Structure 1
Protein backbone atom coordinates (compact mmCIF):
# COMPACT_ATOMS: atom_id res chain seq x y z
CA UNK A 1 0.00 0.00 0.00
CA UNK A 2 1.43 3.38 -0.92
CA UNK A 3 2.34 5.63 1.95
CA UNK A 4 0.68 9.01 2.41
CA UNK A 5 2.75 12.02 1.45
CA UNK A 6 5.19 12.81 4.26
CA UNK A 7 3.22 15.92 5.21
CA UNK A 8 0.27 13.67 6.03
CA UNK A 9 1.90 11.59 8.76
CA UNK A 10 4.01 12.01 11.86
CA UNK A 11 6.61 9.72 13.39
CA UNK A 12 5.63 8.71 16.91
CA UNK A 13 7.22 6.73 19.74
CA UNK A 14 5.90 3.42 21.07
CA UNK A 15 5.44 3.98 24.82
CA UNK A 16 4.58 0.45 25.94
CA UNK A 17 3.51 -2.93 24.58
CA UNK A 18 1.60 -5.62 26.46
CA UNK A 19 1.21 -9.18 25.18
CA UNK A 20 -1.99 -10.61 26.72
CA UNK A 21 -1.89 -13.91 24.82
CA UNK A 22 0.33 -15.11 21.96
CA UNK A 23 -2.09 -13.39 19.56
CA UNK A 24 -3.47 -10.38 21.46
CA UNK A 25 -1.54 -7.20 22.20
CA UNK A 26 -2.31 -3.70 23.36
CA UNK A 27 0.10 -0.81 22.98
CA UNK A 28 0.30 2.94 23.30
CA UNK A 29 2.09 5.56 21.25
CA UNK A 30 2.84 9.24 21.74
CA UNK A 31 0.04 11.57 20.69
CA UNK A 32 0.78 14.70 18.65
CA UNK A 33 -0.72 17.78 20.23
CA UNK A 34 -2.70 18.48 17.05
CA UNK A 35 -4.10 14.93 16.66
CA UNK A 36 -7.90 14.83 16.96
CA UNK A 37 -10.35 11.94 16.74
CA UNK A 38 -13.90 11.11 17.82
CA UNK A 39 -14.53 8.03 19.96
CA UNK A 40 -15.32 5.24 17.49
CA UNK A 41 -12.87 6.37 14.81
CA UNK A 42 -9.67 4.66 13.71
CA UNK A 43 -6.09 5.68 12.99
CA UNK A 44 -3.85 4.57 10.15
CA UNK A 45 -0.61 3.23 11.60
CA UNK A 46 2.43 2.39 9.54
CA UNK A 47 6.01 1.24 9.40
CA UNK A 48 8.80 1.73 6.95
CA UNK A 49 9.28 -1.57 5.13
CA UNK A 50 12.34 -1.77 2.93
CA UNK A 51 12.01 0.90 0.28
CA UNK A 52 8.32 1.39 1.01
CA UNK A 53 5.75 1.43 3.78
CA UNK A 54 2.96 -0.71 5.18
CA UNK A 55 -0.21 0.85 6.61
CA UNK A 56 -3.24 -0.56 8.42
CA UNK A 57 -6.25 0.94 10.21
CA UNK A 58 -6.78 0.37 13.95
CA UNK A 59 -9.57 1.77 16.11
CA UNK A 60 -8.42 4.01 18.93
CA UNK A 61 -8.99 2.53 22.40
CA UNK A 62 -8.12 5.75 24.25
CA UNK A 63 -10.54 8.40 25.38
CA UNK A 64 -10.72 11.52 23.22
CA UNK A 65 -9.07 13.50 26.02
CA UNK A 66 -6.19 11.05 26.70
CA UNK A 67 -2.59 12.20 26.42
CA UNK A 68 -1.54 9.04 24.56
CA UNK A 69 -3.04 6.85 21.83
CA UNK A 70 -3.80 3.23 22.74
CA UNK A 71 -4.64 0.39 20.33
CA UNK A 72 -5.61 -3.28 20.43
CA UNK A 73 -4.36 -5.69 17.76
CA UNK A 74 -4.88 -9.35 16.95
CA UNK A 75 -1.71 -10.85 15.51
CA UNK A 76 -2.33 -12.79 12.30
CA UNK A 77 0.00 -15.56 11.22
CA UNK A 78 2.13 -14.43 8.28
CA UNK A 79 0.55 -10.96 8.38
CA UNK A 80 3.16 -8.30 7.54
CA UNK A 81 1.77 -5.78 10.05
CA UNK A 82 1.46 -8.49 12.70
CA UNK A 83 5.11 -9.39 12.19
CA UNK A 84 6.06 -5.78 12.93
CA UNK A 85 3.83 -5.69 16.02
CA UNK A 86 5.21 -9.00 17.32
CA UNK A 87 8.72 -7.50 17.44
CA UNK A 88 7.69 -3.99 18.54
CA UNK A 89 9.07 -2.65 21.82
CA UNK A 90 8.86 0.52 23.85
CA UNK A 91 11.05 3.19 22.30
CA UNK A 92 10.49 2.04 18.72
CA UNK A 93 9.18 4.43 16.07
CA UNK A 94 5.77 4.08 14.40
CA UNK A 95 4.07 6.22 11.77
CA UNK A 96 0.69 7.88 12.39
CA UNK A 97 -1.49 9.32 9.64
CA UNK A 98 -2.51 12.79 10.80
CA UNK A 99 -6.21 12.24 9.99
CA UNK A 100 -8.50 9.90 11.92
CA UNK A 101 -11.44 8.48 10.00
CA UNK A 102 -14.55 6.36 10.46
CA UNK A 103 -18.30 6.74 10.90
CA UNK A 104 -19.04 4.38 13.80
CA UNK A 105 -20.15 7.35 15.89
CA UNK A 106 -23.04 7.20 18.39
CA UNK A 107 -23.84 10.87 17.84
CA UNK A 108 -25.03 9.96 14.34
CA UNK A 109 -28.13 8.43 15.92
CA UNK A 110 -30.66 11.26 16.27
CA UNK A 111 -32.69 9.46 18.93
CA UNK A 112 -33.02 6.25 20.95
CA UNK A 113 -32.76 5.40 24.65
CA UNK A 114 -30.60 2.25 24.68
CA UNK A 115 -27.23 1.92 22.96
CA UNK A 116 -26.37 -1.73 22.30
CA UNK A 117 -22.75 -2.41 21.28
CA UNK A 118 -22.06 -5.83 19.76
CA UNK A 119 -18.51 -6.89 18.94
CA UNK A 120 -16.09 -9.74 18.40
CA UNK A 121 -12.34 -9.78 19.02
CA UNK A 122 -10.64 -6.46 18.35
CA UNK A 123 -14.02 -4.96 17.43
CA UNK A 124 -14.35 -3.95 21.09
CA UNK A 125 -11.73 -1.20 20.62
CA UNK A 126 -14.02 1.64 19.46
CA UNK A 127 -16.53 0.83 22.21
CA UNK A 128 -13.85 1.05 24.90
CA UNK A 129 -13.13 4.57 23.67
CA UNK A 130 -16.82 5.47 23.66
CA UNK A 131 -17.30 4.21 27.23
CA UNK A 132 -14.76 6.73 28.49
CA UNK A 133 -16.78 9.65 27.11
CA UNK A 134 -19.17 11.15 29.70
CA UNK A 135 -21.45 12.43 26.94
CA UNK A 136 -22.50 8.95 25.85
CA UNK A 137 -23.50 8.02 29.42
CA UNK A 138 -25.44 11.24 29.81
CA UNK A 139 -27.32 10.84 26.55
CA UNK A 140 -28.52 7.20 26.75
CA UNK A 141 -30.59 5.63 29.50
CA UNK A 142 -28.87 2.27 29.10
CA UNK A 143 -25.55 1.15 27.60
CA UNK A 144 -25.19 -2.53 26.75
CA UNK A 145 -21.95 -4.14 25.56
CA UNK A 146 -21.47 -7.74 24.40
CA UNK A 147 -17.93 -8.87 23.60
CA UNK A 148 -17.75 -12.27 21.90
CA UNK A 149 -14.52 -14.27 21.70
CA UNK A 150 -13.62 -17.92 21.20
CA UNK A 151 -11.86 -18.63 24.51
CA UNK A 152 -12.06 -17.14 27.99
CA UNK A 153 -8.44 -15.93 28.00
CA UNK A 154 -9.34 -13.56 25.15
CA UNK A 155 -11.66 -11.55 27.43
CA UNK A 156 -8.79 -9.23 28.31
CA UNK A 157 -10.85 -6.09 28.99
CA UNK A 158 -13.25 -7.35 31.69
CA UNK A 159 -11.31 -5.68 34.51
CA UNK A 160 -10.90 -2.47 32.54
CA UNK A 161 -14.65 -2.24 32.01
CA UNK A 162 -15.36 -2.99 35.69
CA UNK A 163 -12.89 -0.25 36.68
CA UNK A 164 -15.12 2.35 35.00
CA UNK A 165 -17.17 2.18 38.21
CA UNK A 166 -14.39 4.26 39.80
CA UNK A 167 -13.59 6.47 36.79
CA UNK A 168 -13.97 10.09 37.97
CA UNK A 169 -15.97 11.11 34.89
CA UNK A 170 -18.06 7.92 34.65
CA UNK A 171 -18.69 6.53 38.14
CA UNK A 172 -21.99 8.34 38.71
CA UNK A 173 -23.40 6.80 35.51
CA UNK A 174 -21.87 3.33 35.75
CA UNK A 175 -25.17 1.76 36.87
CA UNK A 176 -26.44 2.31 33.32
CA UNK A 177 -24.05 -0.31 31.86
CA UNK A 178 -24.79 -3.97 31.19
CA UNK A 179 -21.69 -5.89 30.08
CA UNK A 180 -22.06 -9.43 28.74
CA UNK A 181 -18.88 -11.34 27.84
CA UNK A 182 -19.54 -14.20 25.41
CA UNK A 183 -17.37 -17.25 24.67
CA UNK A 184 -18.23 -19.40 21.67
CA UNK A 185 -15.88 -22.38 22.08
CA UNK A 186 -15.63 -22.89 25.83
CA UNK A 187 -17.36 -21.80 29.05
CA UNK A 188 -16.09 -18.63 30.64
CA UNK A 189 -18.41 -15.89 29.46
CA UNK A 190 -21.77 -14.91 30.88
CA UNK A 191 -23.13 -16.58 27.75
CA UNK A 192 -21.29 -19.30 25.86
CA UNK A 193 -21.59 -21.82 23.05
CA UNK A 194 -23.40 -19.60 20.53
CA UNK A 195 -22.52 -16.64 18.28
CA UNK A 196 -24.03 -13.20 18.69
CA UNK A 197 -26.56 -13.60 15.83
CA UNK A 198 -28.01 -16.73 17.48
CA UNK A 199 -28.08 -15.05 20.89
CA UNK A 200 -30.06 -12.20 19.34
CA UNK A 201 -32.51 -14.52 17.63
CA UNK A 202 -33.23 -16.72 20.66
CA UNK A 203 -33.62 -13.79 23.05
CA UNK A 204 -30.69 -14.76 25.29
CA UNK A 205 -28.83 -11.49 24.72
CA UNK A 206 -31.78 -9.24 25.50
CA UNK A 207 -32.43 -11.29 28.65
CA UNK A 208 -28.79 -11.04 29.75
CA UNK A 209 -28.86 -7.27 29.22
CA UNK A 210 -32.18 -6.94 31.03
CA UNK A 211 -33.57 -4.99 28.07
CA UNK A 212 -36.42 -5.31 25.61
CA UNK A 213 -35.21 -4.51 22.12
CA UNK A 214 -37.49 -2.24 20.07
CA UNK A 215 -37.11 0.02 17.02
CA UNK A 216 -38.33 2.91 19.16
CA UNK A 217 -35.69 2.62 21.89
CA UNK A 218 -32.82 0.38 20.72
CA UNK A 219 -29.81 1.59 18.74
CA UNK A 220 -27.31 -1.06 17.67
CA UNK A 221 -23.64 -0.66 16.81
CA UNK A 222 -21.79 -3.70 15.42
CA UNK A 223 -18.03 -4.09 15.00
CA UNK A 224 -15.97 -7.22 14.46
CA UNK A 225 -15.11 -9.90 11.97
CA UNK A 226 -16.99 -9.56 8.66
CA UNK A 227 -18.95 -12.82 9.06
CA UNK A 228 -20.29 -11.75 12.46
CA UNK A 229 -21.14 -8.27 11.21
CA UNK A 230 -23.00 -9.67 8.20
CA UNK A 231 -24.93 -12.30 10.17
CA UNK A 232 -25.76 -9.98 13.07
CA UNK A 233 -26.98 -7.31 10.68
CA UNK A 234 -29.24 -9.86 8.97
CA UNK A 235 -30.56 -11.07 12.34
CA UNK A 236 -31.47 -7.50 13.28
CA UNK A 237 -33.13 -6.91 9.90
CA UNK A 238 -35.20 -10.05 10.50
CA UNK A 239 -36.18 -8.65 13.91
CA UNK A 240 -37.56 -5.48 12.32
CA UNK A 241 -34.62 -3.08 12.65
CA UNK A 242 -33.15 -1.02 9.80
CA UNK A 243 -29.78 0.34 8.75
CA UNK A 244 -29.13 3.91 9.83
CA UNK A 245 -28.41 6.34 7.02
CA UNK A 246 -27.94 10.08 7.32
CA UNK A 247 -31.04 10.83 5.25
CA UNK A 248 -33.06 7.85 6.45
CA UNK A 249 -32.60 7.35 10.21
CA UNK A 250 -32.53 3.74 11.38
CA UNK A 251 -31.37 1.64 14.31
CA UNK A 252 -28.17 -0.09 13.09
CA UNK A 253 -24.61 1.08 12.41
CA UNK A 254 -21.82 -1.35 11.63
CA UNK A 255 -18.15 -1.57 10.76
CA UNK A 256 -15.88 -4.49 9.96
CA UNK A 257 -12.98 -4.90 12.37
CA UNK A 258 -9.95 -7.08 11.67
Structure 2
Protein backbone atom coordinates (compact mmCIF):
# COMPACT_ATOMS: atom_id res chain seq x y z
CA UNK A 1 0.00 0.00 0.00
CA UNK A 2 1.45 3.37 -1.01
CA UNK A 3 2.29 5.83 1.75
CA UNK A 4 0.04 8.87 2.07
CA UNK A 5 1.49 12.17 0.80
CA UNK A 6 1.59 13.46 4.37
CA UNK A 7 3.96 10.65 5.34
CA UNK A 8 6.52 11.91 2.83
CA UNK A 9 6.86 15.50 4.02
CA UNK A 10 6.87 17.69 7.11
CA UNK A 11 5.39 21.14 7.64
CA UNK A 12 8.11 23.63 8.54
CA UNK A 13 8.15 27.27 9.62
CA UNK A 14 9.66 30.06 7.53
CA UNK A 15 12.17 31.76 9.87
CA UNK A 16 13.19 34.72 7.71
CA UNK A 17 13.05 36.00 4.15
CA UNK A 18 15.45 38.49 2.55
CA UNK A 19 14.76 40.19 -0.79
CA UNK A 20 18.14 41.11 -2.31
CA UNK A 21 16.73 42.40 -5.60
CA UNK A 22 13.21 42.26 -7.08
CA UNK A 23 14.10 38.79 -8.42
CA UNK A 24 16.51 37.29 -5.86
CA UNK A 25 15.59 36.06 -2.41
CA UNK A 26 17.14 33.96 0.30
CA UNK A 27 15.16 32.41 3.12
CA UNK A 28 15.51 29.94 5.95
CA UNK A 29 13.12 27.37 7.36
CA UNK A 30 13.10 25.21 10.46
CA UNK A 31 14.98 21.93 10.20
CA UNK A 32 13.55 18.69 11.58
CA UNK A 33 16.02 16.78 13.75
CA UNK A 34 15.67 13.80 11.42
CA UNK A 35 16.42 15.73 8.21
CA UNK A 36 19.72 14.71 6.63
CA UNK A 37 21.43 15.88 3.45
CA UNK A 38 24.90 15.95 1.95
CA UNK A 39 26.39 19.29 0.91
CA UNK A 40 25.55 19.69 -2.77
CA UNK A 41 22.11 18.06 -2.57
CA UNK A 42 18.71 19.66 -2.94
CA UNK A 43 15.39 19.61 -1.11
CA UNK A 44 11.91 19.52 -2.50
CA UNK A 45 9.90 22.41 -1.10
CA UNK A 46 6.18 22.83 -1.53
CA UNK A 47 2.87 24.38 -0.62
CA UNK A 48 -0.70 23.21 -0.38
CA UNK A 49 -2.59 24.17 -3.52
CA UNK A 50 -6.29 23.48 -3.59
CA UNK A 51 -6.71 19.78 -2.97
CA UNK A 52 -3.17 19.05 -4.03
CA UNK A 53 0.36 20.40 -3.74
CA UNK A 54 2.95 22.38 -5.68
CA UNK A 55 6.58 21.21 -5.42
CA UNK A 56 9.95 22.44 -6.70
CA UNK A 57 13.56 21.45 -6.01
CA UNK A 58 16.02 23.90 -4.42
CA UNK A 59 19.64 23.25 -3.46
CA UNK A 60 20.43 23.69 0.21
CA UNK A 61 22.69 26.65 0.98
CA UNK A 62 23.25 25.67 4.61
CA UNK A 63 26.09 23.56 5.91
CA UNK A 64 25.28 19.95 6.75
CA UNK A 65 25.63 20.74 10.44
CA UNK A 66 23.44 23.89 10.46
CA UNK A 67 20.39 24.06 12.72
CA UNK A 68 18.24 25.61 9.99
CA UNK A 69 17.81 25.11 6.25
CA UNK A 70 18.63 28.05 3.98
CA UNK A 71 17.74 28.39 0.29
CA UNK A 72 18.29 30.80 -2.60
CA UNK A 73 15.61 31.38 -5.22
CA UNK A 74 15.32 33.36 -8.42
CA UNK A 75 11.77 34.62 -8.85
CA UNK A 76 10.35 33.95 -12.30
CA UNK A 77 7.60 36.10 -13.72
CA UNK A 78 4.25 34.26 -13.68
CA UNK A 79 5.90 31.27 -12.00
CA UNK A 80 3.49 29.65 -9.52
CA UNK A 81 6.23 28.86 -7.00
CA UNK A 82 7.79 32.30 -7.45
CA UNK A 83 4.45 33.92 -6.71
CA UNK A 84 4.33 32.06 -3.40
CA UNK A 85 7.88 33.03 -2.53
CA UNK A 86 7.30 36.68 -3.43
CA UNK A 87 4.69 37.05 -0.70
CA UNK A 88 6.23 34.62 1.78
CA UNK A 89 7.15 35.99 5.23
CA UNK A 90 8.50 34.81 8.55
CA UNK A 91 6.02 32.64 10.40
CA UNK A 92 4.48 31.13 7.27
CA UNK A 93 4.35 27.37 6.75
CA UNK A 94 6.20 25.54 3.98
CA UNK A 95 6.33 21.84 3.10
CA UNK A 96 9.62 19.94 3.14
CA UNK A 97 10.03 16.55 1.48
CA UNK A 98 11.67 14.23 4.00
CA UNK A 99 14.29 12.97 1.53
CA UNK A 100 17.07 15.14 0.09
CA UNK A 101 18.54 14.04 -3.21
CA UNK A 102 21.10 14.91 -5.87
CA UNK A 103 24.51 13.70 -7.02
CA UNK A 104 26.49 16.95 -7.23
CA UNK A 105 28.82 15.64 -4.54
CA UNK A 106 32.58 16.28 -4.56
CA UNK A 107 33.24 13.02 -2.73
CA UNK A 108 32.27 11.20 -5.92
CA UNK A 109 35.67 12.16 -7.30
CA UNK A 110 38.18 9.53 -6.23
CA UNK A 111 41.16 11.73 -6.97
CA UNK A 112 42.19 15.22 -8.08
CA UNK A 113 44.01 18.08 -6.37
CA UNK A 114 41.97 21.05 -7.61
CA UNK A 115 38.20 21.56 -7.54
CA UNK A 116 36.74 24.15 -9.92
CA UNK A 117 33.08 25.03 -9.26
CA UNK A 118 31.36 26.82 -12.14
CA UNK A 119 27.87 28.24 -11.71
CA UNK A 120 25.31 30.74 -12.90
CA UNK A 121 22.53 32.39 -10.90
CA UNK A 122 21.05 30.18 -8.21
CA UNK A 123 23.48 27.43 -9.22
CA UNK A 124 25.85 28.85 -6.60
CA UNK A 125 23.66 27.44 -3.80
CA UNK A 126 25.13 23.91 -3.56
CA UNK A 127 28.67 25.29 -3.66
CA UNK A 128 27.98 27.61 -0.73
CA UNK A 129 27.00 24.54 1.26
CA UNK A 130 30.03 22.58 0.07
CA UNK A 131 32.42 25.39 1.03
CA UNK A 132 31.26 25.24 4.65
CA UNK A 133 32.35 21.61 4.96
CA UNK A 134 35.84 21.20 6.46
CA UNK A 135 36.37 18.01 4.44
CA UNK A 136 36.43 19.82 1.11
CA UNK A 137 39.26 22.10 2.23
CA UNK A 138 41.28 19.20 3.54
CA UNK A 139 40.67 17.08 0.44
CA UNK A 140 41.75 19.59 -2.26
CA UNK A 141 44.86 21.74 -2.53
CA UNK A 142 43.05 24.46 -4.47
CA UNK A 143 39.42 25.51 -4.75
CA UNK A 144 37.95 27.83 -7.37
CA UNK A 145 34.41 29.22 -7.39
CA UNK A 146 33.32 31.15 -10.49
CA UNK A 147 29.85 32.69 -10.22
CA UNK A 148 28.44 34.11 -13.45
CA UNK A 149 25.47 36.51 -13.45
CA UNK A 150 24.13 39.18 -15.79
CA UNK A 151 24.42 42.26 -13.57
CA UNK A 152 26.57 43.22 -10.59
CA UNK A 153 23.62 43.52 -8.17
CA UNK A 154 23.11 39.77 -8.61
CA UNK A 155 26.46 38.99 -6.96
CA UNK A 156 24.75 38.84 -3.59
CA UNK A 157 27.08 36.31 -1.95
CA UNK A 158 30.41 38.12 -2.34
CA UNK A 159 30.40 39.13 1.32
CA UNK A 160 29.48 35.65 2.48
CA UNK A 161 32.33 34.15 0.51
CA UNK A 162 34.79 36.73 1.87
CA UNK A 163 33.60 35.90 5.40
CA UNK A 164 34.85 32.32 4.99
CA UNK A 165 38.23 33.70 6.11
CA UNK A 166 36.72 34.07 9.59
CA UNK A 167 34.75 30.81 9.55
CA UNK A 168 35.54 28.81 12.72
CA UNK A 169 35.80 25.49 10.88
CA UNK A 170 37.30 26.38 7.50
CA UNK A 171 38.86 29.82 7.97
CA UNK A 172 42.38 28.48 8.47
CA UNK A 173 42.26 27.03 4.93
CA UNK A 174 40.61 30.05 3.23
CA UNK A 175 43.73 30.93 1.25
CA UNK A 176 43.06 27.83 -0.87
CA UNK A 177 39.97 29.47 -2.40
CA UNK A 178 39.94 31.74 -5.44
CA UNK A 179 36.57 33.40 -6.00
CA UNK A 180 35.94 34.69 -9.52
CA UNK A 181 32.80 36.81 -10.04
CA UNK A 182 31.78 36.92 -13.69
CA UNK A 183 29.41 39.36 -15.45
CA UNK A 184 27.88 38.86 -18.88
CA UNK A 185 25.96 42.12 -19.38
CA UNK A 186 28.08 44.64 -17.47
CA UNK A 187 31.72 45.60 -17.34
CA UNK A 188 32.12 46.67 -13.72
CA UNK A 189 32.16 44.79 -10.44
CA UNK A 190 33.72 41.53 -11.61
CA UNK A 191 37.03 40.07 -12.74
CA UNK A 192 35.77 38.61 -16.01
CA UNK A 193 33.06 39.63 -18.45
CA UNK A 194 32.16 36.78 -20.80
CA UNK A 195 30.20 33.53 -20.55
CA UNK A 196 31.92 30.68 -18.73
CA UNK A 197 32.34 28.47 -21.84
CA UNK A 198 34.18 31.28 -23.61
CA UNK A 199 36.37 31.96 -20.58
CA UNK A 200 37.36 28.30 -20.52
CA UNK A 201 38.14 28.19 -24.23
CA UNK A 202 40.25 31.37 -24.29
CA UNK A 203 42.17 30.48 -21.12
CA UNK A 204 40.96 33.49 -19.11
CA UNK A 205 39.39 31.35 -16.39
CA UNK A 206 42.55 29.31 -15.80
CA UNK A 207 44.56 32.53 -15.76
CA UNK A 208 42.25 34.04 -13.13
CA UNK A 209 42.42 30.80 -11.12
CA UNK A 210 46.20 30.98 -11.14
CA UNK A 211 46.97 27.49 -12.43
CA UNK A 212 46.51 25.41 -15.60
CA UNK A 213 43.57 23.03 -15.77
CA UNK A 214 44.77 19.46 -16.31
CA UNK A 215 43.11 16.07 -16.64
CA UNK A 216 45.40 14.69 -13.96
CA UNK A 217 44.66 17.23 -11.24
CA UNK A 218 41.58 19.35 -12.02
CA UNK A 219 38.00 18.36 -11.28
CA UNK A 220 34.98 20.40 -12.37
CA UNK A 221 31.49 20.79 -10.94
CA UNK A 222 28.86 22.65 -12.96
CA UNK A 223 25.50 23.97 -11.77
CA UNK A 224 23.21 26.58 -13.25
CA UNK A 225 20.93 27.25 -16.17
CA UNK A 226 20.72 24.35 -18.62
CA UNK A 227 22.26 26.30 -21.50
CA UNK A 228 25.35 27.20 -19.47
CA UNK A 229 25.73 23.64 -18.21
CA UNK A 230 25.44 22.22 -21.73
CA UNK A 231 27.80 24.74 -23.32
CA UNK A 232 30.35 24.54 -20.52
CA UNK A 233 30.29 20.76 -20.63
CA UNK A 234 30.93 20.85 -24.38
CA UNK A 235 33.79 23.32 -23.87
CA UNK A 236 35.39 21.00 -21.31
CA UNK A 237 34.96 17.99 -23.60
CA UNK A 238 36.76 19.96 -26.28
CA UNK A 239 39.60 20.55 -23.83
CA UNK A 240 39.99 16.82 -23.23
CA UNK A 241 38.01 16.41 -20.00
CA UNK A 242 35.33 13.74 -19.54
CA UNK A 243 32.12 13.18 -17.61
CA UNK A 244 32.60 11.38 -14.30
CA UNK A 245 30.58 8.20 -13.97
CA UNK A 246 30.47 5.67 -11.17
CA UNK A 247 32.24 2.98 -13.22
CA UNK A 248 34.20 5.29 -15.51
CA UNK A 249 36.10 7.98 -13.59
CA UNK A 250 36.23 11.41 -15.21
CA UNK A 251 36.73 15.04 -14.34
CA UNK A 252 33.23 16.59 -14.64
CA UNK A 253 30.08 16.49 -12.51
CA UNK A 254 27.10 18.63 -13.45
CA UNK A 255 23.54 19.48 -12.55
CA UNK A 256 21.02 21.98 -13.88
CA UNK A 257 20.08 24.69 -11.39
CA UNK A 258 16.50 24.89 -10.14
Instruction: Spell out, residue by residue over 1:107-153, the C-alpha distance to the aligned partner (whole angstroms, 9 max, x if none).
Output: 00000000000000000000000000000000000000000000000
- 1:5 Cα deviation (Å)? 1.5
By how many angstroms is 1:171 displaced? 1.0
Q: State the shift of 1:4 in Å.
A: 7.0
Question: Structure 1 residue 185: deviation in Å?
Answer: 0.2
Partner of 2:201: 201
In the alignment, is the contact (CA less than 8 A) between 1:40 and 1:59 conserved in 2? yes
Partner of 1:210: 210
1:65 aligns with 2:65: yes
Native 8 Å contact 1:9 1:98 kept in 2: yes
Q: How does 1:213-228 map to 2 (within 5 A)?
A: 213-228=213-228
In the TM superposition, 1:40-59 aligns within 5 A as 40-59=40-59
| Alpha-carbon distance in 1 for matches of 2:46, 2:89 | 15
Does 2:152 match 1:189?
no
**1:52 Cα deviation (Å)?**
1.2
Quote the RMSD (CA, aligned, Å): 0.9
Q: Secondary structure at the match of 1:237?
A: helix
- Verify: 1:180 aligned to 2:151, yes or no: no
- Give yes or no for contact 1:4–1:97 (8 Å, CA) kept in 2: no
For the pair 1:164 / 2:179, whether they are aligned, the reply is no
| Distance in 2 separating the partners of 1:233 and 1:73 | 24
Aligned to 2:12: 12
Taking the aligned partners of 1:120 and 1:210, their CA distance within structure 2 comes to 21
2:127 is the alignment partner of 1:127: yes
For normalisation by structure 1, the TM-score amounts to 0.98
Partner of 1:252: 252
1:241: how far off?
A: 0.1
User: Any unmatched runs of 5+ in structure 2?
Assistant: none
SS of equivalent to 2:16: strand
CA shift, 1:50, in A, is 1.5
What is the distance in 2 between the residues matched to 1:61 and 1:211?
A: 28
Find the aligned partners of 1:255 and 1:248 in 2 and give their Cα distance.
18
Structure 1 residues 188-246: Cα deviation after superposition (integer angstroms, max 9, x where no partner): 21111x10000000000000010110000000000000000000000000000000000
**Separation in structure 2 between the aligned mates of residue 149 and residue 4 of structure 1, nearest angstrom:** 41
TM-score of the superposition, structure 2-length normalised?
Answer: 0.98
Provide the rounded CA distance (Å) in 2 between the counterparts of 1:128 and 1:156: 12
Distance 1:234 1:139 in 2: 27
Aligned length: 255
CA distance in 1 between counterparts of 2:211 and 2:15 reads 40
Aligned to 1:153: 153
Is contact 1:73–1:122 with CA below 8 Å preserved after alignment? yes
